Structure 1
Amino acid sequence: MRKQGFNPRHNLLACALASCMVLGASPAFAQSTAATLRGQATAGGTITVTNVETGLSRKAAVGANGAYAIPGLPPGTYRVDGGTGSRTITLAVGQVATVDLGTAPATPADDVTNLEGVQVIGQAVAETRTSEVATYVSPKQIEALPQGTRNFLAFADSVPGMAFSQDNNGNTRLRSGAQSASAINVFIDGVGQKNYVLPGGVTGQDSSRGNPFPQSAIGEYKVITQNYKAEFDQLSGAAIVAATRSGTNEFKGDVFWDGTRTPWRSASRFEEQSGVKAESEEQQYGVSFGGPIVRDVAHFFLAYEAKTYESPVTFNLGRGFTVSELPSDFQDEYGSGVFTKPFDEDLYFGKLDWSIGTDHYLELTGKVRKESEITDIGGTRFSSASTSNINEETRVDLRWQWTQDNWMNDARIGYEKSFWSPEPTEFSNGYWLADGNWWDTIARRGGGDNYQNKGQKGWMLQDDLTWYGWDGHTVKAGMKYKLITVDTLQQNKFNPQFYYDINESLTVPIHVEFGAPVAGLGDGTVTSKNRQFGLYVQDDWEVNDKLTLNLGVRWDYERTPSYEDFVTPADVVAALRASNATLPNSGVNVEDYISTGGNRKADNNNWAPRLGFSYDLNADQRNVIFGGIGRSYDRNLFDYLQNEVAVGSWGSFSYNFDTALHPCEGSNCLEWDTAYLDPETLRALAVASGSREVYLNNNNLVVPYSDQLSIGMRNIVNMGGNDWTIESTLSHIESHDGIAFLLGNRRADGSFFLPGTTDPPPWNTGFAPFTNMILAQNVLETKADSFLLRIEKPYTDESRWGVNLAYTFTDSKQNSPINGWPGAFNAQTIDDYGWFAGQAAKHRLVTTGIYEAPWGITLSAKLTYATALPRYVQDCNETSWSLCHFTYYVPKEKFKQFDLAANKEFAFGDRVRLRLRMDVLNVFNWANYSGYNDWMGGANEPLSASFGTPNAIALPTRTLKLSLGLSW
């Protein structure tokens, strides 16, 4: 399949790649978290930089044109010797800082070996000559700004174009623009944390209240929303680039505790209505410690953080029923109608570094994450029907950096293992209490239906080299190889789910749904040993003292054997070729979904050019025009690809039972027998029937990608003696080839809908003996035009205050009513849906401020305002039920939240500090919502009075959080 839109010319890219490889002698670079220092100095001289806290030292020769460059520097404070003297500067994560030493004032060089116990403050160097649309999150912001959870990604919310959210279940999401959370990637110490199986972008962040990394181990990070360079892979949205903390030449440690309890939070609107406030509690605590093993040579750092939650949930009975109308066992389990659900997390991180002279640097890091929680509870779902979820992750990475006069090699080897494992809290039959129709739920109890185990594990080898011996150029290229085994177990409805009509019988069901293995095809488990390979080359070319060009291209390839080697079962092939989908007007070519085991190939057309520029109007780094155009490839989530095998081998079955009020006939109609309460009896029945749903992947699936275009201006303006950064950007982003699942069934004449109708789809039609064919296709698209504005006065130790304003205007759209799992079953093709408003707030404003008040008190604040996101609904308010169609609306409620924090430190001697802190989240207790009543009403009915009314709260309500800490 040929990509549409921004299509690179492969011959030119190949020439560019070959040219750079010749000029650079196989150069490379992938230190996405490391900083680069460059500038002008005395020709023929030598520049030496030394980290004042660790003793790490690097040298570089100054070229004949007076230019120098020193890449691969961990963020921190450095003494720079050379040129006309010495300077002390602070470099941020991933920064490319320009420092001209030939004109720097001469200052005495401090003796770094005698700095123990002395705080060295370096001058922060602003990065303006970059094409990236990027914002830095500083250690001071992480330390001081109000925060309800120690998820370090929450601070990315203050970046234009980004949105961090927490739903009523406490699950967190970070999104970039109009794309889903899966489009981002987080790079920690240069290693991508991509989730290859599940949504969320980062391993462990799908349906989790937990944190991806201990915040105490994060030094700082930056968020690149656009124009990231070719070293960044496996994303089509934002790149979050974080650097972890390291041990220094001083022993330093910190312990903390923070928490909140029921009396310290306001009741939600729904708790106020019920008159019952659920017991809740949140606690977070941890310790971090680091120091020297051998001074100036080797160091260590350790961090541990834990989180325990008891979060409130409320039962809301369906169909207007009251508790007194429920059966006695339901009443007993309902209790007060308000419950809490527990969550526990443990996070561990360790780091060792070793400098061998000035040429070699070794670094070993490890991370372990363990979570357990109860989910799937609330609303009509009682606690016995809940899910017990285990979420675990382990990562280990070894890095060797080798530096010479004009090049640096960075080699890594890593191992990762991450699994998400929900299973029913009770293994018993599920009991759904219905009102008439089996789908009209009043409440449910008994064994739940969520039973999965999905994850990834494997090895990574990465090698990168930077060559800066070509005047005016920093040439980079690199490769990455990963052998990743992706595993899924998907046995949903392992517990049969029985439905009972409260108007008829509480012991004889009217309907049952269950899962069962398919004879000869497996049991819902899928394993695929995937191989990933990536190459890139990049040239950061300082054409002159005003113009910088960033020219790069990368190519990525992934082989997925479970998809490419799959053979469609013979009975499915026969049914496909005999189905109504083969008729001329069906719009389906069934041969596109029949795999022989040899007619599918991995997508190898993933060439991604990335071109950026910055133009410094006065060559003083204060007024810079920047922009760029590029393509970036993400990847297909294995959770989507695996359905072809998993659903094909663990079928989903349903039967109706013939009762007085619910008579039925046909092959899926049964006379009730108590033997059916035995799951094995049901599964034997399913094996005999052979009727099941079938998922089929298109034989030519490709990788989703985005094309990005931006132009902007960055200014440094001095106001009141302080430098302010003002950055404005116009952005256009299009994403293509996202996977969606469409219904392949067709009616007797090959049509999807009956003539003159728009509903219902042809479920269970035209695909005998199977029920439904579900077709996976590359069809999803989004488009977003944005204006991004950032105004920042950085916090400095001299001014003792800082502010940041981030405003985003976004006009976005998408070609489907999908928000979440990509089922698109209500139209024959994706084009039949038309375009809908996209999942990005039209207006979003986030402002933050930090102020060092008298008496050693640090005050901080954060204000967030955003218009509501669109909600996609089915409109059946027509003259007939057969005219239902999808539309969208935007709730009138805005998102508003104002947070405050105050921190006071008490000194005990020269090193020990005691911290007392108070955070007040959502000070004005503004009500924000994460769910609404989306039912508009039926045919020939007036618009439902409850349509568009909120039914789920977005956390937090007004909450007081107290914190204690001790550092030394």
Structure 2
Amino acid sequence: MQQVFRRSALTVALGMCFTGPVLAQSASGNVFGQAAAGSTVVVENPATGFRREVAVPADGAFRIPALQPGNYRVTVRDASGGTRVRDVVVNAGVGTSIDFAAPAGGGDVTADSNSLDTVRVRGVRAVNPIDVSSVESTTILTSEQIARIPVPRDTTAVALLAPGTVRGDAAFGNLASFGGSSVAENQYYVNGFNITNSFRGLNFSQVPFEAIAEQQVKTGGYGAEFGRSLGGVINQVTKRGTNEFHAGGNVFYTPSSLSAHPRDIYQTNGVLRSDNSTEEESSATASVWASGALVQDKLFAYGLIQYNKTSEDVSNNEIVGGGTSESAKWPTYLVKLDWNINDSNLLEFTSFNDKREREIDSYTEAGTYIGTNFLEEGGQNHILRYTGYFTDNFTLSALYGHGTFSRAQHLRTATGADVSYGGNLAVPATGCPIITDARPKYRQDLTGKYVSTCNITGGAIERGDAEDTRDQFRVDADWQLGDHQIRFGLDVDNYESVAGTSNEGGRVWRYAVVDPNGTPNSGDEFDIVREQIVNQGTTVKVKQHAYYVQDSWKITDNFIAQIGLRWDTFENLNGFDETYVKVKNQFGPRLGFSWDVNGDSTFKVYGNAGRYALPLTPSVAVRGASASLFTRQQFTFTGVDPVTGAPLGIVPRTGSTGRLQYVNGEFGEPKNPATIASSNLEPMYQDEFILGFQKALNEHFNVGARGIYRNLKTAIDDNCDYAAILEAAGFDENFERDGRAAVLPGGGFPYCRMFNPGADAIFLTDFFDDGVLESTTVPGSRLAPKAKRTYKALELFTDVTYDKFFLQASYTWAQSKGNTEGGVKSDIGQRDTSVTQDFDYYELTVDTYGFLPNDRRHSLKVFGNYEFSDEWSMGANLLVQSGRPLNCLGTLTLPSGALHPYGAAFMRCDNKPVPRGTAGRLPWTTNVDLNIAYRPAFAKGLQFKVDVFNLLNSQKVTSVSEIAEDGSTGADLETYLMPASFQAPRSVRFMVQYDF
């Protein structure tokens, strides 16, 4: 019975496992195990005709790497001609273990050459089974599993099923945070190709969801072949063709009539801020697909065409009144070709398009059409991958991929005029400006304000040709040398971004009140207006390459040590193709172990430690290292245009405020690339430690636990306190040295510079604008404290699998603490990756150490499916999670009595410290999703399904406005703690599918 139990536990492990020894960013899997020395192992895929044959060496250990996901038959032939056969499933990133060396018995069949020793695995399998070859923290979900549970059909929604993941702030869209990191620190792959939109790290290409065969979610411990991530890695593998022809289609439809309305939003004084009672949203997706062999056993094809349509009507009186009507239509496709040139050489080609266009019509509160905002996103991706099995022990994989990602935007006014920004720093002459009314009388309520009735977006617009381009090339080798499995490779990833923004209408008009005597309502107050112009536009690049080598050393039959080394080089170039940051050979060691305690794959103890580095995003250079324009000027005025909201009869104010000011040294002229960053700049990197175990209680039930500790060692951000550089360079309080005054700031004296917070920074500066660069070392203690971010977590998880039932449950206790979230800043929704306001001035860093925005102390996740019969099944998905910490962001009064120019950006309110995360927490949230599926027996391949998301329609607050004071006056704001997002309201999705 013990041997039967051991084999049953192994059966659970065959379906989906995690492993270090895989190639090409986990786009393939492998089979490994034990057999009699001198025997021959043959691996065959009947669906494709693929076949590989290897001899078993003297130690009896065999391994066949770089297998495409699919069903395989593994045959062992001994010297006497007897055979033993097993059917197994190989998944991407999976090491499938088979032991042919165990003595026959206990149900093991070994007879003559016609005997079968077969392990059958159902289509729906355990999510986290035991794999004794792995040191990673990985969750793998197949398309069959995803189809059986109620989950939105998108990459992030599936990733959020894994332990250690939480949804990021709504300001950044639909993104996940992994292990306490910011949402800008993840990497995304499809078939081994990087599809991350690296411009800011806040987007990725969307593979047509129906074409995804498997999705891996790596939350930690990944090997040396992975890099450029401090968060998580999401790796998707697409479907492919076989010898058997398949075709089908489906339709998903979410009607607005069955969706609940979002909650209305009120200020703390009871004023209605957003009326959502009439908001409606619907979506529909239709797909058709076909796959089969173009040449039997040689050339296979899979093709899919998908059409998506969404619409949303929002009627509210937030800020300026009015509403929007949004629609998006996008046809997408994916083609996958596989050519088995011969048993030793394979070639794959993947091409997909995800370019989508959104149209957002804007209306006044009275319902008058203002104009349309046209947005593009996504593009084309082409991937070519070669795999060569050169010997039984040496395999080589090479990949080249090219991808484009559009971020273009243009507007169309009610009169039919097209408005776009060309990115040439010229102020757009068309379009309506942005209006901000900060006068005290109208700050708190929403009536009587100066507004624009023709401004379409209320913000900045991207240039009309904004686009990102990636060219990636990588080579990965796998070499088995006795007890050592050596993997090594080269990864080249070059990225180019055409980027730039300008405010709609070219400028922002900000109305305010001047009180000369400082006595409110004394009668001497008068209104002023400030014009602000911010324009950027250039083409920037990031060049990256990495070398890695990793050894999986089988020290004993039960113990594997994994030793990995990685060297990353990052080079950032500005709009003039000049290097402004270069980090060479950043070292990233990885060390792990896996102990098969009982020697039968039923109990594993494992651990790993690793260092991971993150490059600067290209977005940093658009404004910080290239030519940009930022001006301000104050005016008095005689009237206001009732349509545009722009001032009439403007006259520059007397004195310095009325003169045109260039802010941040942004004159519209190039910056000296040598002055942009500290010359001793290190990349952002993090150390990670994981220790865990997994145990099979029986053939149906696995449990496990792991502890995780992450420590951010170095961060990159910008600092704008040029006084610190002048002090270190020997200038006096008047910014003079040796009778000469510094030119502040100038082309060689940028306003803000990149540095490692807490570390001494070496800056090159042209103090006198004479072309002479001086090197100055500024103590880290003068610029900012050391950047800190730690993540501690304990994850408990279990998997239950029966013939008609599967379930995964996990509970995570986590704590994320520090003085920086990382690449972005959820406190204020700041999307400027790596150049947040966290470290701009030392004053901004006071009282900032505490619980970070992605701190969700408790998370419970349970999902699964039960088949009542061959026709009916039900799926469920439960998420219970504690709320995030809150801050109170206010103004800082300087010794002079004036307010700090950064406004409400400090961890203090009422001029008193309010340390990070001590202003309370948001409420716990509970989300219950259910589905019912019907597969009629009379029509094979036909299926109907209904998913209900947020069954209980719980709409707890998930983010709020954390700015408590007006940045200009310090007065309390009624918008403090006003909800910014809620749980998505209840919705119902219908599906019909036919597959044959």
Q: TM-score, length-normalised on structure 2?
A: 0.76
Which position in structure 2 is the counterpart of 1:573?
A: none
Deviations along 1:130-154, one digit per CA (max 9) or x if unpaired, are 1111222133321111123x21331
Which position in structure 2 is the counterpart of 1:778?
A: 756
Distance change >3 Å, CA 176–CA 376, structure 1 → 2: farther
| 1:922 alignment partner, one of 942, 950, 953 | 950
Measured in 2, the distance between the counterparts of 1:926 and 1:379 equals: 31
8 A contact 1:253–1:288 mirrored in 2:
yes
| 2:358 alignment partner, one of 367, 373, 391 | 373
Measured in 2, the distance between the counterparts of 1:380 and 1:651 equals: 34
Q: 1:286 and 2:306 equivalent?
A: no
8 A contact 1:457–1:484 mirrored in 2:
yes
| 1:617 alignment partner, one of 579, 589, 597 | 597
Amino acid at match of 1:906: P
892-901 or 816-825, which moves further after superposition?
Answer: 816-825
8 A contact 1:28–1:465 mirrored in 2:
no
Distance change >3 Å, CA 689–CA 865, structure 1 → 2: closer
Q: Tell me how far 1:953 sits from its aligned partner.
A: 3.5
Deviations along 1:275-328, one digit per CA (max 9) or x if unpaired, are 83223221122122211112222110012223222224343444xxxxxxxxxx
Measured in 2, the distance between the counterparts of 1:736 and 1:277 equals: 49
Which position in structure 2 is the counterpart of 1:310?
A: 311
8 A contact 1:90–1:122 mirrored in 2:
no
Which position in structure 2 is the counterpart of 1:808?
A: 812
Measured in 2, the distance between the counterparts of 1:846 and 1:106 equals: 40
Deviations along 1:825-850, one digit per CA (max 9) or x if unpaired, are 67426754541212231111111021
Q: How does 1:361-440 map to 2 (within 5 A)?
A: 361-374=346-359, 384=370, 387-403=373-389, 404-426=391-413, 427=419, 428-432=431-435, 434=437, 436=439, 440=443
Which position in structure 1 is the counterpart of 2:462?
A: 452
Q: How does 1:796-835 map to 2 (within 5 A)?
A: 799-816=803-820, 818-819=825-826, 820-821=830-831, 822-824=836-838, 827-828=841-842, 832-835=846-849
SS at match of 2:941: strand
Q: Tell me how far 1:786 sits from its aligned partner.
A: 0.7
Which position in structure 1 is the counterpart of 2:929?
A: 899
Which position in structure 2 is the counterpart of 1:738?
A: 715
Distance change >3 Å, CA 340–CA 938, structure 1 → 2: closer
SS at match of 2:333: strand
| 2:144 alignment partner, one of 140, 143, 166 | 140
Amino acid at match of 2:923: E
Amino acid at match of 2:378: E
Amino acid at match of 1:446: C
Distance change >3 Å, CA 144–CA 185, structure 1 → 2: same
Which position in structure 2 is the counterpart of 1:699?
A: 678
Q: Tell me how far 1:55 sits from its aligned partner.
A: 2.2
Measured in 2, the distance between the counterparts of 1:72 and 1:310 equals: 43
Measured in 2, the distance between the counterparts of 1:481 and 1:49 equals: 32
8 A contact 1:546–1:619 mirrored in 2:
yes
SS at match of 1:854: coil
8 A contact 2:690–2:707 mirrored in 1:
yes
Distance change >3 Å, CA 853–CA 509, structure 1 → 2: farther
8 A contact 1:284–1:308 mirrored in 2:
yes
Amino acid at match of 1:654: R
SS at match of 1:290: strand
Measured in 2, the distance between the counterparts of 1:296 and 1:379 equals: 62
8 A contact 1:925–1:957 mirrored in 2:
yes
Q: Tell me how far 1:108 sits from its aligned partner.
A: 8.7
Distance change >3 Å, CA 176–CA 111, structure 1 → 2: farther
Q: How does 1:2-13 map to 2 (within 5 A)?
A: none
8 A contact 1:788–1:807 mirrored in 2:
yes
Q: How does 1:731-880 map to 2 (within 5 A)?
A: 731-744=708-721, 746=723, 767=744, 773-779=751-757, 780-794=787-801, 799-816=803-820, 818-819=825-826, 820-821=830-831, 822-824=836-838, 827-828=841-842, 832-838=846-852, 839-854=854-869, 856-875=871-890
Q: How does 1:438-477 map to 2 (within 5 A)?
A: 440=443, 442=449, 443-447=451-455, 448=457, 449-453=459-463, 454-468=466-480, 470-477=481-488
Q: Tell me how far 1:397 sits from its aligned partner.
A: 1.1
685-694 or 555-564, which moves further after superposition?
Answer: 685-694
Q: 1:961 and 2:979 equivalent?
A: no
Amino acid at match of 1:311: E
| 1:71 alignment partner, one of 65, 70, 92 | 65
Deviations along 1:100-153, one digit per CA (max 9) or x if unpaired, are 1223733699999xxxxx9997998842431111222133321111123x2133
Which position in structure 1 is the counterpart of 2:243?
A: 249
| 2:587 alignment partner, one of 600, 607, 615 | 607
Which position in structure 2 is the counterpart of 1:209?
A: none
| 2:632 alignment partner, one of 630, 644, 654 | 654
Measured in 1, the distance between the counterparts of 2:662 and 2:708 equals: 54
Measured in 2, the distance between the counterparts of 1:803 and 1:926 equals: 24
- Provide the identity percentage: 20
8 A contact 2:883–2:958 mirrored in 1:
no
Distance change >3 Å, CA 385–CA 774, structure 1 → 2: farther
| 2:134 alignment partner, one of 130, 144, 157 | 130
Q: Tell me how far 1:436 sits from its aligned partner.
A: 2.1
Q: Tell me how far 1:738 sits from its aligned partner.
A: 3.0
8 A contact 1:424–1:450 mirrored in 2:
no
Q: How does 1:60-459 map to 2 (within 5 A)?
A: 60-82=54-76, 84-103=83-102, 105-106=108-109, 126-148=130-152, 150-164=153-167, 167=170, 171-200=173-202, 202-204=203-205, 212-270=206-264, 274=275, 276-318=277-319, 334=321, 337-374=322-359, 384=370, 387-403=373-389, 404-426=391-413, 427=419, 428-432=431-435, 434=437, 436=439, 440=443, 442=449, 443-447=451-455, 448=457, 449-453=459-463, 454-459=466-471
275-284 or 177-186, which moves further after superposition?
Answer: 275-284
Measured in 2, the distance between the counterparts of 1:241 and 1:100 equals: 29
Amino acid at match of 2:294: I
Which position in structure 2 is the counterpart of 1:635?
A: 615
Amino acid at match of 2:484: H
Measured in 1, the distance between the counterparts of 2:491 and 2:137 equals: 25
8 A contact 2:839–2:845 mirrored in 1:
no
Q: Tell me how far 1:898 sits from its aligned partner.
A: 0.5
More helix by share: 1
In structure 1, stretches of 5+ residues that fail to align are: 1-26, 113-117, 205-211, 319-329, 518-523, 567-596, 663-669, 677-683, 752-764
Deviations along 1:616-662, one digit per CA (max 9) or x if unpaired, are 1111111111001011112111112332244xx33122222214799
Q: TM-score, length-normalised on structure 1?
A: 0.78
Measured in 1, the distance between the counterparts of 2:878 and 2:663 equals: 61
Which position in structure 2 is the counterpart of 1:37?
A: 31
Q: Tell me how far 1:53 sits from its aligned partner.
A: 2.3
> Size of the alignment, in residue pairs?
832
Q: Tell me how far 1:78 sits from its aligned partner.
A: 0.9
Amino acid at match of 2:592: G
SS at match of 2:204: coil
8 A contact 1:816–1:836 mirrored in 2:
no
Q: Tell me how far 1:712 sits from its aligned partner.
A: 0.9
SS at match of 2:837: coil
Which position in structure 2 is the counterpart of 1:15?
A: none
In structure 2, stretches of 5+ residues that fail to align are: 1-20, 78-82, 267-271, 414-418, 420-430, 515-525, 641-645, 653-658, 729-741, 758-786, 900-910
Q: Tell me how far 1:876 sits from its aligned partner.
A: 5.5
